Amino acid sequence: MIKADKFIGRFENVKPVKYNGEILYNVLMEEYNFVNVNNMICETLHPNNIVAKLYTNHYSNEYKNNVVVLLNECIKKRDYATYKRLTSGIQFVN
C-alpha cells in the first residue's frame, strides 16, 4: 500500500484537492480488505477505526454525525488531546 499523497507530482492528473465539506464515503466491510475503485486499488475502512466503530453500534444518526463533526474539528485544529478524549469516551458494544 502506498499513501495517496505519494502519487502527487508523479502522475499528470494526480493532485491534492482542498476538502470543502463535501460528503466522503468509506467502504466498511466485516473484514478489512481492498476494493477496486475507478481502476485504483483502495483499502476499506478498518473495522477498528473510530468511525467504523461509531457506525456499527446503536447510536442515533444525530449522535454519530455530531461526533464525526467534532472529530473533524479536532483534526483541523490539531487538537489531539480533545480528539483522544472524545474517542476514549465513546462506549462500544461488540
Residue 16 falls inside a structural domain: yes
Domain-located, residue 26: yes
Q: Which of the pair, 1 or 56, is modelled with greater confidence?
A: 56
C-alpha cell read off for 29: 466491510
Instruction: Read off the pLDDT of residues 8-51 as tens digits, 9 standing for 90 and up.
Output: 888 888 888 887 778 777 888 888 999 998 888 889 999 888 88
Q: How far apart are CA 52 and CA 49, in angstroms?
A: 5
Expressed as residue numbers, the domain containing 85 is: 4-89
The 3-class secondary structure across the chain, one letter per residue, is CCCHHHHCCCCCCCCCCCCCCCCCCCCECCCCCEEEECCEEEECECCCCHHHHHHCCCCCHHHHHHHHHHHHHHHHHCCHHHHHHHHHHCCCCC
In the predicted structure, residue 94 carries a pLDDT above the cut 70: no
In a domain, residue 39? The reply is yes
Cell reading at 3 = 499513501
Instruction: Report yes or no on 34 lying in a domain.
Output: yes
Structural domain count of the chain: 1
Residue 9 located in a structural domain: yes
Beta pairing partners, 43: 34
Integer Cα distance of 42 and 9 in angstroms: 19
Q: What is the pLDDT of residues 49-65, one digit of tens each?
A: 888 888 888 889 998 88
Identify whether 94 is part of a domain: no
User: For 63-88, what is each residue's pLDDT tens digit?
Assistant: 888 988 999 899 999 999 999 988 88
Look up the pTM and report it.
0.60
